Structure 1
Amino acid sequence: MADTKREIERKYESDDSGLPDLTGVAGVAAVLDQGVADLDATYYDTADERLAASSITLRRRTGGADAGWHLKFPVASGVRDEIHAPLSDRVPSTLGALVRSRVRDDALAPVVRLRTTRDVRHLVDLDGHLLAEVSVDAVHAERLTGSGGKAEWTEIEVELAEGGDPAFLDKVDKRLRKAGVRPCEAPSKLARALAETGGKGQPRKEDRAEPVTAGDHVLAYVRAQRDAIVELDPAVRRDVEDSVHRMRVATRRMRSTFKSYRKILDRAVTDPVGDELKWFAAELGAGRDQEVLAERISDAVRELPPALVVGPVRNRLRTWSTARGEDARREIIDVLNGPRYLALLTSLDALLADPPLRAAAAGKPSNELAKAVRKAYHVLAELVDHALATPPGKDRDVALHEARKKAKRARYAAEAAAPGLGKPASKLKSSMKDLQKLLGEHQDSVMGREALKELAEQAQAAGEHSFTYGVLYAAEQRRAEQVEEELPGVWKGTRGTAGI
């Protein structure tokens, strides 16, 4: 089993003078000596230090109160999510899976050993509650590959107590700076060890020059979506809220970009990748769609007067939601662990390393990007006009769903073009987002009615009342009608943003 905690800390350079007096820090009633611990940590990475390049650390550590395996993901400056697993001889499979999107099929091997003598102090308030742990770390680093270099240094580490106010670290920082202590330049012990023992050390970034041509802008957008997929992989595996949705959106954005910018990127290369993105989005979508429906129906039940909730409606909904949700999650994890997903990531890397640019890619953004955005809008316009002209019913539902998909494409086309086209593309992106949201509400109503019909049939088969499902169905029907009434006005409002 692995458990996770949020680590908020700051690191400082230290010399032989040791730890400055911190009793003067506001809120600190006492500084308690916790003794000295000897820590021995071996850090693992690929041969090309891929984890270090992403500011991720994976280590096996003995000594101290938290011996075991630790995997750390950056969240923000000085903030990391730390995932623990019990001590073992090999990298635990739970942690190996969380770095798979970066490591792929490459081996993880020891790269650096850090032996640290840690002198620990606790900063506590008047009630004896822990505010922060401060340690003076004497570090001995040894590179286990390549040069085999060694390095030594001493640093001060201040880690906020769990649930503490991050503003407290500012108070400690002020006191340390006043005593002449300065923050470390390296973001972590590993980064410093790698840099001082012959490794890369600091995170490496791809050469991402400022976009100039139309092709530059499209590739920058595609690259951002590839990065999002890779970075969200661990969050999806950990079932972090909204992570599946965000990953699915990244796949949609990329696939949509391939379609909108076929004059920029050769479709002979992008179409097969797009097909795989479509497959992957569908696999992710099963769980997300279920999530949205369950939340929608549950909210509707809560809003009903008690007299209209007849029978075990909440229990049936909970059972329906949980069973489907668990099945969907297992399927998603199976996909992430499968070879097809890894092959997709590899194909995205290859596409960005050797982009299939067409002649128009060298053109000015004001010409080539604008053409693609205008085309996406005109395709959408035809579909919306067709939907509005279609009588209410199933055919209109289908037409509005198609319009919704094209609204997304127009939005993503404008989003990709916005850095090159400026305010006009940004305005169109905003209006397309509003239109997409409205059409999405209509589609959610369509799907909600299908789910309610299924729930009613299940209730009837079990001898339960189906009255409440009928009430909810009628409310969903009315919401769809309201959207259809609002649509002409919202659509008319987009006309003023389409002049790119």
Structure 2
Amino acid sequence: MDVLTMGTAHRSKLAVSLRKSANEVHEAQRFQHRMFSEECGAHYPGRTFQPYASVRVGMFNFIDSGTLGDKQMVQGLNAADELTGASSISHLIGGVASHFRSPKLPPLCVSQQAVHSPSGLRFPDRDTGLKIRYDLLTLPVPIMKDPAMTRSDRRPAVRPRPVSSKLEHEIKLSVDPDCRLPRLPGTPLPRKILTSTYYDTASHDLARARITLRYRVEQGKKAWQLKLPLGDDRQEVEILDQHQLPPAVFRDLLVLHLGERKLTPIATLRVWRTGLLVRHNRIPAAEIALDSVSVVKNDCVIQRFRELEIEQAGPDEELLRGLERQLRRAGAHDHDGRPKLFRALSLPAPAPEAPPAPKAPPADHVKWVLTQHVRWLLAHDPGTRLGTQIESLHQMRVATRRLRAVFRAAQPMFVPEWAASLANELAWLSEFLGQARDLDVQIAYFNGESARLDARDRKPLAQFVAHLQTQRERLQQVVLSELKSARYFELIRRLRQAAQAPSIVDTAVTLHELAEREFRKLRKAIRRMGPSPNHAVLHAIRIKTKRARYAAELALWSVGKPAARFMKQARAVQGLLGHYQDSFTAGTYIRAFLKQSTGVRAGFVAGRMIERQRQRRDAIQKNLTPLLKTLVKRGKKAWG
């Protein structure tokens, strides 16, 4: 009887019998090889499939020798434990055969563990193939070494290198060749030379996304540095590494921006830096750097320029502006906004796409708004994956929320099924991002409360904060898993397509009418609010304020200043009600803290925090009424 056609009962009996002796284990191994070889041979007649085992990852690979040059393979996962493990063999008969015969898939059999990329399934190289799980039987199967594999093919396991991250908030100024730093209160920094090799795709995909990847050598220190957008600032991520190939962790972070495109060196810059560390009350407040930059190509300098950077090192942003004024008086002037790499490559400054003309068709306005929000989401995807700056996830969630609002407000303009499907997927994305954001807000709140307490009262609260941080770390793994899922990559593909060519139907509705409709819903809710609204009423008004604000954004360039004034007031109301919501959520966490910490001091601390939250909500409600009156007034002027 052929093993590929035998029934389930026969396979089960075979599984039992194959467990009896070591010889039968090897027979089971040959059984696996035969099934894969015959199945692959049936799909590709005339080709021979050879067994291969990767020592590095402990997987059975079945390589089509006819396409070995293309490095395509079928690969079986040899357990989680590389060297000792039992093979968990799943979905072989049903799953593999059906996947092989599917005309929609490449010659790889894949399961939920397949690696996905924005362009679909990622074709692997020899060492990092797609993982195939199959489950006919469970046996301890020894790893077969491929005699054709040389030592150079075996990569030693590399321990993950620590990743450091910091927020970068700086002001750039241009200077003349003879400019010198003025006398400022601070400590001179030693002069140093920095050599940076920048990497990007051939089409400068990273640069166009305001992302910088470079390999920097600084006084013997060698590191890979990645600069990511973070709101209006940037996040700098660094990995100390001697290897001059981009780290895999950076490629993983940039998967939406790179896809399968190759990273190559595009420019080398050598910088002579002199600087000054400015202190305020003996605390570092800012670092001033005067850079003399040389662009190097084939060991020859092809371009030179100078620039001045003021990087914030403390919380006082006003001090940064004061230093800027002093440096301008010393001869510094406006910078053109281009990063060093852009100047080296003679690229124009990164600038947002101009909005459509006021009288442009409504579809152009909707398309422009969708494009802005999709770009914002993509810009903060790498930082959300990294998880070191909570603002990255916050901004990604903001983009998701705004996209949902656009699909809701402009619903009459869209093909209904298309818009509803995208809105549902965005709701899924917003759900797990929102859970993480809520924890970030509460951890920040409790850390602030802890700083206000006496030393003896901090211990129980510190333990509770540690508990919340553990929950947040677990939730980060959930976020990361979802951002690696096929569902998320498909959503990104559809959003990119929507920004380029949204499915819009012919309709006579105007953007003014769409914004007016959302404003009327908000005004109705405010009128019904009453003198003492509860949490549910205020939460509903907050949601309607968001929707009215984002609908107004669609009509901003056609309506003009009245819409802008309404949006500004809606933002203020939304922010105030957001603080109310945070306060209400904090009460839930305080009760959880009290339940976990049963001591007398913990009860005292919880009581103080609950009272402060009550006072906070009372103050918000007191300030809310005049803000809402102004919002309604401006809404009437904008929408009638």
- For the pair 1:356 / 2:494, whether they are aligned, the reply is no
| TM alignment of 1:79-478, pairs within 5 A | 83-85=237-239, 86-103=241-258, 105-110=259-264, 112=266, 114=268, 120=272, 122=274, 132=289, 134-135=291-292, 137=294, 139-140=296-297, 153-158=302-307, 160=309, 170=328, 187=338, 190-191=341-342, 209-210=356-357, 212-236=360-384, 237=386, 239-297=388-446, 299=448, 312-360=459-507, 368-388=510-530, 396-460=534-598, 465-473=602-610, 476-477=613-614
Q: Deviations over 1:86-125 (max 9, x none)?
A: 131431123224433322x222232536486x7x575789
Q: Given the superposition, is the C-alpha separation of residues 355 and 207 from structure 1 closer, same or farther in structure 2, using an over 3 Å criterion? A: farther
TM-score by length of 2: 0.58
Q: Given the superposition, is the C-alpha separation of residues 89 and 369 from structure 1 closer, same or farther in structure 2, using an over 3 Å criterion? A: same
Q: Partners in 1 of 2:622 and 2:295 — Cα distance? A: 69
Distance apart, 1:234 and its partner CA = 3.6
Aligned to 1:180: none
Instruction: Return the letter of the residue paired with 2:396.
Output: M
Q: Partners in 2 of 1:483 and 1:8 — Cα distance? A: 35
SS in structure 2 of the partner of residue 215 of structure 1: helix
Q: Partners in 2 of 1:26 and 1:486 — Cα distance? A: 47
Instruction: Return the letter of the residue paired with 1:430.
Output: K
Q: Given the superposition, is the C-alpha separation of residues 475 and 324 from structure 1 closer, same or farther in structure 2, using an over 3 Å criterion? A: same
Unaligned segments of structure 2, at least 5 residues: 1-161, 278-286, 314-319
Instruction: Return the letter of the residue paired with 2:633.
Output: G
SS in structure 2 of the partner of residue 495 of structure 1: helix
Q: Which has the larger radius of gyration?
A: 2
More off after superposition, 276-285 vs 484-493: 484-493
Q: Given the superposition, is the C-alpha separation of residues 155 and 475 from structure 1 closer, same or farther in structure 2, using an over 3 Å criterion? A: closer
Distance apart, 1:223 and its partner CA = 1.7
Distance apart, 1:348 and its partner CA = 1.3
Q: Deviations over 1:394-429 (max 9, x none)?
A: xx4334322321221112212332222123323332
Contact 1:414–1:425 (Cα < 8 Å) also in 2: yes
Unaligned segments of structure 1, at least 5 residues: 14-18, 143-150, 178-182
Contact 1:449–1:473 (Cα < 8 Å) also in 2: yes
Distance apart, 1:244 and its partner CA = 2.2
SS in structure 2 of the partner of residue 498 of structure 1: helix
Q: Partners in 2 of 1:76 and 1:281 — Cα distance? A: 18
Contact 1:138–1:155 (Cα < 8 Å) also in 2: yes
Contact 1:58–1:71 (Cα < 8 Å) also in 2: yes
Q: Partners in 2 of 1:325 and 1:493 — Cα distance? A: 38
Instruction: Return the letter of the residue paired with 1:371.
Output: E
Q: Deviations over 1:125-180 (max 9, x none)?
A: 9xxxx9645546362269xxxxxxxx962313456587695567657866xx9xxx
SS in structure 2 of the partner of residue 359 of structure 1: coil
Contact 1:384–1:400 (Cα < 8 Å) also in 2: no
Distance apart, 1:262 and its partner CA = 1.1
Contact 2:404–2:423 (Cα < 8 Å) also in 1: yes
Contact 1:2–1:94 (Cα < 8 Å) also in 2: no
Distance apart, 1:436 and its partner CA = 2.9
SS in structure 1 of the partner of residue 264 of structure 2: strand
- For the pair 1:495 / 2:632, whether they are aligned, the reply is yes
Q: Deviations over 1:184-207 (max 9, x none)?
A: 999466546656xxxx88769768
Q: Given the superposition, is the C-alpha separation of residues 313 and 45 from structure 1 closer, same or farther in structure 2, using an over 3 Å criterion? A: same
Q: Which has the larger share of helix? A: 1
Contact 1:113–1:141 (Cα < 8 Å) also in 2: no
Distance apart, 1:431 and its partner CA = 3.7
Q: Given the superposition, is the C-alpha separation of residues 134 and 343 from structure 1 closer, same or farther in structure 2, using an over 3 Å criterion? A: same
Contact 1:53–1:205 (Cα < 8 Å) also in 2: no
Instruction: Return the letter of the residue paired with 2:511.
Output: L
Distance apart, 1:257 and its partner CA = 1.4
Distance apart, 1:51 and its partner CA = 1.6
SS in structure 2 of the partner of residue 455 of structure 1: helix
Q: Partners in 2 of 1:113 and 1:431 — Cα distance? A: 46
Contact 1:59–1:70 (Cα < 8 Å) also in 2: yes
Contact 2:542–2:574 (Cα < 8 Å) also in 1: yes
Q: Given the superposition, is the C-alpha separation of residues 71 and 11 from structure 1 closer, same or farther in structure 2, using an over 3 Å criterion? A: farther
Q: Partners in 1 of 2:180 and 2:617 — Cα distance? A: 63
More off after superposition, 401-410 vs 472-481: 472-481
Contact 1:112–1:141 (Cα < 8 Å) also in 2: no
Contact 2:355–2:365 (Cα < 8 Å) also in 1: no
SS in structure 2 of the partner of residue 44 of structure 1: strand
Q: Partners in 1 of 2:624 and 2:349 — Cα distance? A: 51
Q: Partners in 1 of 2:569 and 2:180 — Cα distance? A: 56
SS in structure 2 of the partner of residue 456 of structure 1: helix
Q: 2:206 aligns with which of 45, 51, 66?
A: 51
Q: Partners in 2 of 1:141 and 1:194 — Cα distance? A: 15
Q: Partners in 2 of 1:173 and 1:75 — Cα distance? A: 30
SS in structure 1 of the partner of residue 411 of structure 2: coil
Q: Partners in 2 of 1:298 and 1:76 — Cα distance? A: 23
Aligned length: 451
Instruction: Return the letter of the residue paired with 1:353.
Output: Q
Q: Given the superposition, is the C-alpha separation of residues 425 and 26 from structure 1 closer, same or farther in structure 2, using an over 3 Å criterion? A: same
Q: Partners in 1 of 2:252 and 2:602 — Cα distance? A: 45
Instruction: Return the letter of the residue paired with 1:214.
Output: P
Q: Partners in 1 of 2:573 and 2:165 — Cα distance? A: 39
The higher relative CO (CA closer than 8 Å, separation ≥ 6) is in 1
Contact 1:44–1:109 (Cα < 8 Å) also in 2: yes
Aligned to 1:148: none
Instruction: Return the letter of the residue paired with 1:495.
Output: V
Q: Deviations over 1:199-219 (max 9, x none)?
A: x88769768654522222222
Q: Partners in 1 of 2:530 and 2:229 — Cα distance? A: 48
Q: Aligned Cα RMSD in Å?
A: 4.6
Q: Partners in 1 of 2:576 and 2:336 — Cα distance? A: 48
Aligned to 1:69: 224
